[in-house]
Chain A
Amino acid sequence: MKNADDIKKIFYKAAIETNPLKDEKILENITAAYEQTNKAQSEKGELNIWRTIMKSPITKLAAAAAIIIAVIIGSNFLGIIGKSSVAWAKVAENVERIDTFKFNLKIIVHNNDPDKSAEDTQAQWTIYLSSKYGFRMDIGNQDNEVSWYIPVENDKIITVIPSEKKWVQMPFSRDYAKQCEEKDPRDYIKRFMSCEYTELGRQTIDGIEVEGIEVINPPTDIEHLENAVGYLWVDVKKQLPVRVEISGNVDCNTVQCNMDFRWDEEFDAGIFQVPSDYTQISQ
């Protein structure tokens, strides 16, 4: 034994192995502890989020928007946005401070059947949220457009039909908030993140540095979505979702869903007002 190098060789050669059966038992224990902590964190986060929602008019409206969209498109895509563990808590915290927010969802259905029309079917949802002015959502496809308005201080929802220059006002149901409370985002994120995913690294989307993941066959509530791929991009600095993209096939159709988010957008007050030349329809 001459020097430290010889001793280092002994360290290197001094091998250790473990009993595989015991390994499995230990793994069971630590996995259970990990999942229990995750569950507790999730519950804690959920409570905080709900408190935030209840406190802030802007997040209350955002929650309502999420419910409305989820109902309309028959899916739970919005779950992806909020339930990225890196972003959700931040979203809740940040949204409370953010004055304005714009969200755009576009769904494109391309028919791959050579015997049918090659024209794509599109639908688009654009949401504007402002703590100053309220909420507006435009829903449109090739043929129709409908807008919904919810003023900040009123418990009412206004539906506007631009093509007919008409609008109708209804009470803003507290059931929307209730539905939001009953929805459990933990389940969805668990499903999404339990999938095998690949880190995509960083890139720039519209000048924003983002970090993304790719999920093959992401869980969605769209029936029979095959060969699906999902991408989630999160703003590295703000810890807020920037873009979600999901594509897949349903029968002979290719479905592409793109969701874009913009925070702190400047809005004109007129966006949240029904044009004066529109006629009100009685309920």
Chain B
Amino acid sequence: MTEDKLLIWKLKRGSSDALRQIYKKYKNNLLKLAVILLNDAAAAEDIVQDVFLNFARLSPAIKHLGNLKGYLTVAVVNQVRNHIRDCKRKNTERLEDSQEVVSKLNRPEQWAILSEQLKLLSKAMAGIPYEQREVITLYMQGETTFRQIVKIQNTSLSTVQGRYRYGIEKLRKLLNHEVEK
């Protein structure tokens, strides 16, 4: 946390080096978050790049950045929601049905290199409703507390806890099913 505060302090004083350090520190974490939420590595890459680009553009003007990790995490979550909404609007890919989307990795200029375990997890996560997926991912990957998720999802604590509980139950079944296969 202290390191982040120093990075923000430097960043707000024009240090490109601080921006590079922030990128290196958080890129994997944010990519993993987006991949798990979307089960689509290409879209996750685009989203995380956009998040960093927006962060770079806006950071000098942001008055109270506060928790850097939290800020970037929420930025990714918001972009993921926008992406899902756009997809639904365009009626293109239905994420829940995109069983093999994450494996579409043999593309040129590939950025993210996913482990087999991550592919398996993303695929299983795609089988649970988005709100539940978001709670589980933020809690387990984003190290976000339930109370913080309440704010992100603009709902009640009991709803968040319920989503987590039901999501975990379903995810366990899906993962067991994958392991058995």
Q: Are A19 and B6 in contact (CB under 8 A)?
A: no
In the complex, which residue of chain A has the Cβ closest to the Cβ of B140?
A11
Q: Are A19 and B13 in contact (CB under 8 A)?
A: no
Chain A residues in 8 Å Cβ range of B13? 84-86, 193
Could you pull out 8 A-B pairs where Cβ atoms are within 8 angstroms?
A1-B172, A10-B120, A11-B141, A13-B117, A14-B117, A18-B27, A31-B19, A37-B60
Within 8 A of B (CB), among A1-22: 1-4, 6-8, 10-11, 13-19, 22
Bin the interface of chain A by size: 35 or more
Instruction: Report if A29-B6 is in contact (Cβ < 8 Å); known contacts: A1-B172, A7-B172, A10-B117.
Output: no
Q: Are A15 and B52 in contact (CB under 8 A)?
A: no
Chain B residues in 8 Å Cβ range of A35? 16
Whether A38 sits at the interface, judged by CB under 8 Å, is: yes
Knowing that A2-B172, A30-B23, A30-B52 are A-B contacts, what are 11 other residue pairs whose CB atoms are under 8 Å apart, sorted by A's residue number? Answer: A14-B121, A16-B31, A16-B112, A16-B113, A17-B28, A18-B112, A27-B23, A30-B55, A37-B59, A189-B14, A199-B9
Q: How far is the CA of A165 from the CA of B15 in the complex (A)?
A: 51
Q: Are A18 and B111 in contact (CB under 8 A)?
A: yes
Chain B residues in 8 Å Cβ range of A11? 36, 121, 140-141
Instruction: Report if A30-B28 is in contact (Cβ < 8 Å); known contacts: A7-B175, A16-B115.
Output: no
Q: How far is the CA of A35 from the CA of B24 in the complex (A)?
A: 18
Whether A110 sits at the interface, judged by CB under 8 Å, is: no
Q: How far is the CA of A220 from the CA of B27 in the complex (A)?
A: 37
Whether B57 sits at the interface, judged by CB under 8 Å, is: yes
Instruction: Report if A199-B6 is in contact (Cβ < 8 Å); known contacts: A4-B168, A14-B32, A33-B57.
Output: yes
Instruction: Report if A7-B168 is in contact (Cβ < 8 Å); known contacts: A18-B28, A193-B13.
Output: yes
Q: Are B111 and A34 in contact (CB under 8 A)?
A: no
Give the residue of A16, A18, A31 whose beta carbon is less than 8 angstroms from that of B118: A16
Give the residue of B55, B111, B113, B117 whose beta carbon is less than 8 angstroms from that of A26: B111
Chain A residues in 8 Å Cβ range of B114? 16
Whether A41 sits at the interface, judged by CB under 8 Å, is: yes
Q: Are A34 and B16 in contact (CB under 8 A)?
A: yes
Chain B residues in 8 Å Cβ range of A193? 13-15
Q: Are B16 and A31 in contact (CB under 8 A)?
A: yes
In the complex, which residue of chain B has the Cβ closest to the Cβ of A195?
B15
Chain B residues in 8 Å Cβ range of A7? 136, 140, 168, 171-172, 175
Q: How far is the CA of A195 from the CA of B114 in the complex (A)?
A: 37
Whether A190 sits at the interface, judged by CB under 8 Å, is: yes
Q: Are B52 and A26 in contact (CB under 8 A)?
A: yes
In the complex, which residue of chain A has the Cβ closest to the Cβ of B136?
A7
Whether A23 sits at the interface, judged by CB under 8 Å, is: yes
Q: How far is the CA of A99 from the CA of B141 in the complex (A)?
A: 54
Whether A279 sits at the interface, judged by CB under 8 Å, is: no
Chain B residues in 8 Å Cβ range of A17? 28, 112-113
Closest chain A CB from B51 CB (angstroms): 10
Q: Mark B88-119, 1 if CB is under 8 A from A, else 0.
A: 00000000000000000000011111110110
Q: Are A10 and B121 in contact (CB under 8 A)?
A: yes
Whether B176 sits at the interface, judged by CB under 8 Å, is: yes
Q: Are B28 and A16 in contact (CB under 8 A)?
A: yes
Within 8 A of B (CB), among A41-73: 41
Whether B56 sits at the interface, judged by CB under 8 Å, is: yes
Closest chain B CB from A213 CB (angstroms): 8
Q: How far is the CA of A150 from the CA of B35 in the complex (A)?
A: 66
Whether A121 sits at the interface, judged by CB under 8 Å, is: no
Chain A residues in 8 Å Cβ range of B14? 38, 85, 189-190, 193-194
